[in-house]
Amino acid sequence: MQDPNSLRRLAEIPLFLNIISLAYEGLSAEAIYDLGTHNQRQTLFDTYIRRMFQQRPAIPRYPIRGFGIPPKIRS
């Protein structure tokens, strides 16, 4: 991030506020500040993506089927 206030400006956008709250959940303000302005954005997105994959269920909610292939042809 370019300056210390850029994270604050991102938090003004609802989508980014949600991403920030999910990614930094459980971290103190000091821990986030200690990341430094350069690493905050990269850490933000890396943490968010990792947490989203952790939340995905191990079992798919819907059966996986081939798209556009009639059931009689599939084996």
Question: Within a domain: residue 43?
Answer: no
Indicate the number of domains in the chain: 1
Confidence of residue 1 (pLDDT cuts 50, 70, 90): very low
Question: Within a domain: residue 16?
Answer: yes
Mean of pLDDT values over 3-7: 68
Taking the alpha carbons of 56, 62, 63, 65 in that order, is the dihedral positive or negative?
A: negative
Q: What would the two tokens of residue 2 be?
A: 């370019």
Task: Yes or no: say if 44 and 21 are a contact pair by the CB < 8 Å rule.
Answer: no
Question: Within a domain: residue 20?
Answer: yes
Q: Which residue has the higher pLDDT, 55 or 21?
A: 21
State the pLDDT at residue 60.
Answer: 61
State the pLDDT at residue 39.
Answer: 74
- pLDDT, one tens digit per residue, over 15-53 is 999 988 888 888 888 888 787 766 778 888 888 888 888
* Domain, as residue range, for 3: 1-25
